[in-house]
């Protein structure tokens, strides 16, 4: 008699930051479909609850934990909550980020620079600092950082955003070497421009642009890879230029 197999991520706990909308919501939904219990982290409970509701509609599992990744106390509080409830973290997707402010660097306000860096780079540090010890204790885990092709290429009028993503890439490569001896695999995904309802790109053909689901699919590939290897970096581009 045929016996149904368990979902590939059954019994695993996945933390996704910026999970209330766009790319983060797509990633969280994909991981839930693979059987993980997804912890939805973000600053706005209403959008997190919307993602959670969509996950529960198909029988997936999720928990909402309000978190500001730019605030160390908030991240540490979330970590304590998750450790108390689940006792483990198997997957951490650092997705929360602030987009491009289209302005030359010499006109960028210092507070805007700080806001971008605190979320896009410092926030990832806070999350790895807080969650990696749980993975080390469990001798396994995936950390996936959502970067950008702007972390590979020049981005005029977006230097602060670009700098945060170049920094995120360097952080990822270094942390991967630090944690691989603990059987923790650290990867970075660098997509090009992505069309979402929250960040449309004027003048581009939305049908040809990358979609949030494309990034989610890349995350799926990483977390289902065989144990003997890992994809350290994925550069994601549309098939046709929009």
Catalytic residues: 161
How many CA atoms does the CB half-sphere of 168 hold within 13 Å? 36
Distance CA 221, CA 63 (A): 23
Structure tokens that stand for 196 in this block = 């979402």
Contact assessment for residue 169 and residue 152, using Cβ atoms and an 8 Å cutoff: yes
Neighbours of 72 (CB within 10 A): 16
Distance from the first to the final alpha carbon of the chain: 49
Neighbours of 75 (CB within 10 A): 23
């Amino acid at each position: 008699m045929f016996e149904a197999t368990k979902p590939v991520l059954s019994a695993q706990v996945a933390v996704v930051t910026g999970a209330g909308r766009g790319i983060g919501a797509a990633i969280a939904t994909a991981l839930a479909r693979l059987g993980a219990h997804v912890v939805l982290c973000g600053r706005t409970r209403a959008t997190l609850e919307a993602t959670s509701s969509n996950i529960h509609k198909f029988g997936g599992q999720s928990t909402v934990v309000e978190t500001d990744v730019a605030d160390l106390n908030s991240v540490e509080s979330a970590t304590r909550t998750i450790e108390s409830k689940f006792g483990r973290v198997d997957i951490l997707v650092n997705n929360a980020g602030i987009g491009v402010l289209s302005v030359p660097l010499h006109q960028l306000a210092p507070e805007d620079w700080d806001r971008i860096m605190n979320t896009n780079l410092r926030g990832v540090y806070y999350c790895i600092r807080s969650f990696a010890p749980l993975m080390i204790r469990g001798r396994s885990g995936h950390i996936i950082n959502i970067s950008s092709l702007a972390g590979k290429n020049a981005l005029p009028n977006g230097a602060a955003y670009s700098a945060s993503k170049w920094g995120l890439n360097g952080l990822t490569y270094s942390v991967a070497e630090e944690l691989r001896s603990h059987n923790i695999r650290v990867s970075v995904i660098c997509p090009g421009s992505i069309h979402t309802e929250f960040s449309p790109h004027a003048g581009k053909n939305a049908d040809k642009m990358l979609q949030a689901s494309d990034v989610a699919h890349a995350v799926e590939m990483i977390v289902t890879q065989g144990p003997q290897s890992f994809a350290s970096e994925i550069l994601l581009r549309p098939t046709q230029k929009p």
